[in-house]
């Protein structure tokens, strides 16, 4: 079975063509300015295909991305090159690397990790390493914004089988998501079956991928943040700013870098 995003990344932008990237980017930018008004530079951990980063750069922010998937990195890097060639004032560059151990000799006003990248960190070591990467690259007082699957909502609502159908000019895609919940590990293994039909040739491709997703609770995130030299200062429902509840599957957190802590 393929590792997460090995094959999935080829169809990622098509699968999420209806995702409100502009609205999400505006939301994150506004949230950052609420907690750190002078944000000019951002490190994005888990940039995907670069859709958010492209919009942040177009708004005047200097964005450095990190993406592990080779295919997604290639797409994001193409975006970064187009941004640079069409707008000399926009700053968007991207590195291929693992957010758990990525290091460059640069500090940022903010670090972001969106679309549940933190929930892909299923072990304690993985999530701590992600937080340490954020802490290492933050200026003192800088903010780390991330979102997760929220434990109380996952347990209250329970993941369900979901089917998604979509197409473009050349292919039709059927995606079946079948979840398995491991309550002892606070984890949901989402088994994706993808069936892709070529409209011209009639050829059909099928593959499966397992995406392990950890759901989190606020007390453990407070503890992990403290271990990484960060202070968790805020949480809210993703995009709405409502208070987290058992109805809130996606929750956004803001952590601030301790001014008294040394760099990790």
Backbone angles phi, psi at 125, to 5 degrees: -65, -40
Question: Full-prediction pTM beyond 0.85?
Answer: yes
* pLDDT for res 4: 53
- pLDDT per residue, tens digit, the chain (264 aa), is 345 555 777 788 888 888 999 999 999 999 999 999 899 999 999 999 999 999 999 999 999 999 999 999 999 999 999 887 776 566 899 999 999 999 999 999 999 999 999 999 999 999 999 999 999 999 999 999 999 999 999 999 999 999 999 998 999 999 999 999 999 999 999 999 999 999 999 999 999 999 999 999 999 999 999 999 999 999 999 999 999 999 999 999 999 998 754 444
* pLDDT for res 209: 92
* pLDDT for res 242: 97
* pLDDT for res 85: 75
Residues 6+ apart with CB under 8 A from 23: 239
Is residue 208 exposed (0-12), middle (13-18) or buried (19+ Cβ within 10 Å)?
middle
Cα radius of gyration (the chain) = 18
* pLDDT for res 145: 98
SS3 state of residue 155: helix
Residues 6+ apart with CB under 8 A from 17: 166
* pLDDT for res 261: 43
* pLDDT for res 86: 73
Q: Are 193 and 2 in contact (CB under 8 A)?
A: no
Is residue 192 exposed (0-12), middle (13-18) or buried (19+ Cβ within 10 Å)?
buried
Tell me the C-alpha distance between 156 and 181, whole Å: 12
Tell me the C-alpha distance between 219 and 221, whole Å: 5
* pLDDT for res 262: 41
* pLDDT for res 234: 98
């Amino acid at each position: 079975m393929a590792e997460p995003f090995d094959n999935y990344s080829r169809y990622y932008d098509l699968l999420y063509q209806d995702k409100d990237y502009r609205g999400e980017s505006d939301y994150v930018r506004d949230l950052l300015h609420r907690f750190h008004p002078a944000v000019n530079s951002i490190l994005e951990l888990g940039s995907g295909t670069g859709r958010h980063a492209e919009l942040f750069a177009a708004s005047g922010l200097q964005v450095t991305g990190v993406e592990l998937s080779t295919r997604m990195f290639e797409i994001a890097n193409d975006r970064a090159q187009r941004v640079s060639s069409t707008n000399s004032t926009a700053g968007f560059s991207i590195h291929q690397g693992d957010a758990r151990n990525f290091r460059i000799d640069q500090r940022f006003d903010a670090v972001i990790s969106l679309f549940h990248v933190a929930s892909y960190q299923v072990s304690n070591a993985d999530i701590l390493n992600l937080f340490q990467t954020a802490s290492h690259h933050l200026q003192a007082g800088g903010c780390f914004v991330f979102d997760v699957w929220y434990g109380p909502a996952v347990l209250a609502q329970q993941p369900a089988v979901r089917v998604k159908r979509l197409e473009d000019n050349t292919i039709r895609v059927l995606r079946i998501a079948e979840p398995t919940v491991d309550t002892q590990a606070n984890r949901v293994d989402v088994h994706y079956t993808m069936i892709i039909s070529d409209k011209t040739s009639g050829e059909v491709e099928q593959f499966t991928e397992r995406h392990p997703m950890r759901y989190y609770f606020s007390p453990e995130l407070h503890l992990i943040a403290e271990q990484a030299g960060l202070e968790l200062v805020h949480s809210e429902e993703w995009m709405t700013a409502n208070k987290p509840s058992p109805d809130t599957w996606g929750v956004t957190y803001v952590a601030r870098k301790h001014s008294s802590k040394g760099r990790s």
